[in-house]
C-alpha cells in the first residue's frame, strides 16, 4: 500500500533573517569521502550599497591534500546562477512545516599552489591592512578601490619623502661643520672685524687690513697729509684737488679720521 499523504506547510524565510544560509555545492573532481570532510570558509561581499556586488559570495574548502575555491559570480560561477534562482526547503517532520531558504550554487574547483610559494609562506605573511586591500581589490566597488589606490599612492609618496629626508640628514651629518671666525671671513668682501667690539674704533684693526710691509711703504706717501695744515686742506678743497673719504682706523695709522687724496689735473 502507498504511504498516506501528509500535508506540508511552506514558510519562506527572508535572507536578512538567516545567519547561516544553506548552500548547494558541487566538486568538479568527484565526490568527497564522508570520513574525511573538508573545512569550509564562507565569505560575503561588504558592498551593501552596490546592487550588483552585494550578493557576491566566495566559498573555500580545504582537506589534508587539496584546497578548493568556488564563486557565485564571474567565469567560474555555475551558468544557472544567471538564469534561475535556487531555493532549499528544510522539512520538520514533527510539525509538518518546511522552511524555504534562498541559496547559492557553487562549483568547487581545486587550487594548485606553487611549491616555491609554499616554501616562502612564512616569509610573505600579510598584515591585516594588506589582507583587507586584497578583499577590496576582489570584491570592493569603484569608490572603495579609488580610496585604496589613493591611500597606496600617498604611502609610496610618504616613503619616498622619508627616504629623501633621511638621505639629506645623513649627508648633513657627514658634512664638516661650517667654519666660523677669521677662516669664514676670509672669503668675504668685508675685512676681518671684531663683532664683539665695545667701541667703533675697535671694530677694524689696521694690522688685519694692511700688512706691516704695505703700511711702511705708505708712510712717505701719507706724509703730505699728516703734515698738512687746515689752510692746505682748505686750499685743496677750493681748487677741487681733494677727494675726501671718511673712515675709522686704530693703532698705528698716522692719518686722521678723514682720508684725503690730492688729484692732479
The continuous run of DSSP H or E covering 152 comes out as helix 142-174
**Alpha-carbon distance values, 221 to 5, 65, 247, 251 (Å):** 142, 108, 18, 18
Q: Which residues pair with 107 in a beta bridge?
A: 26
Q: Is the entire prediction scored with pTM above 0.85?
A: no
- Residue pLDDT, tens place only, 189-246: 677 778 888 888 788 777 777 777 877 777 777 777 777 788 888 887 887 766 555 4
Those residues whose C-beta lies under 8 Å from the C-beta of residue 76, and which sit 6 or more positions away, are 69, 70, 107, 109
Dist. CA 45–CA 85, nearest whole Å: 19
Whether 101 contacts 88, CB under 8 Å: yes
Q: What is the pLDDT tens value at each position of the chain, 265 positions in all?
A: 556 777 888 999 888 888 888 888 888 887 777 777 888 898 888 887 887 788 888 999 988 888 899 988 888 788 777 778 888 999 988 888 999 998 888 988 888 766 555 555 554 577 888 888 888 888 888 888 888 888 888 888 888 888 878 877 777 777 655 544 544 444 556 777 788 888 887 887 777 777 778 777 777 777 777 777 888 888 878 877 665 554 444 444 444 444 444 444 3
Dist. CA 66–CA 144, nearest whole Å: 33
Amino acid at each position: 500500500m502507498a504511504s498516506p499523504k501528509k500535508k506540508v506547510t511552506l514558510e519562506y524565510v527572508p535572507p536578512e533573517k538567516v545567519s547561516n544560509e544553506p548552500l548547494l555545492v558541487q566538486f568538479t573532481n568527484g565526490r568527497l569521502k564522508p570520513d574525511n570532510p573538508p573545512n569550509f570558509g564562507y565569505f560575503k561581499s561588504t558592498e551593501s550599497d552596490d546592487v550588483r556586488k552585494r550578493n557576491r559570495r566566495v566559498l573555500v574548502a580545504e582537506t589534508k591534500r587539496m584546497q578548493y575555491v568556488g564563486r557565485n559570480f564571474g567565469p567560474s560561477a555555475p551558468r544557472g546562477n544567471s538564469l534561475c534562482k535556487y531555493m532549499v526547503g528544510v522539512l520538520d517532520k514533527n510539525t509538518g512545516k518546511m522552511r524555504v531558504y534562498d541559496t547559492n550554487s557553487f562549483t568547487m574547483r581545486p587550487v594548485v599552489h606553487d611549491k616555491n610559494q609554499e616554501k616562502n609562506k612564512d616569509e610573505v605573511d600579510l598584515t591585516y591592512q594588506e589582507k583587507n586591500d586584497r578583499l577590496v581589490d576582489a570584491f570592493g566597488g569603484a569608490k572603495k578601490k579609488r580610496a585604496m589606490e589613493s591611500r597606496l599612492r600617498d604611502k609610496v609618496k610618504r616613503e619616498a619623502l622619508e627616504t629623501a629626508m633621511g638621505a639629506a640628514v645623513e649627508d648633513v651629518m657627514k658634512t664638516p661643520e661650517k667654519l666660523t671666525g677669521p677662516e669664514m671671513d676670509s672669503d668675504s668682501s668685508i675685512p676681518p672685524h671684531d663683532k664683539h667690539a665695545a667701541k667703533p674704533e675697535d671694530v677694524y684693526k689696521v694690522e688685519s687690513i694692511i700688512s706691516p710691509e704695505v703700511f711702511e711703504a705708505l708712510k712717505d706717501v701719507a706724509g703730505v697729509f699728516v703734515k698738512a695744515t687746515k689752510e692746505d686742506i682748505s686750499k685743496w678743497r677750493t681748487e677741487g684737488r681733494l677727494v675726501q673719504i671718511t673712515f675709522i682706523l686704530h693703532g698705528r695709522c698716522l692719518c686722521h679720521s678723514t682720508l684725503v687724496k690730492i688729484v692732479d689735473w
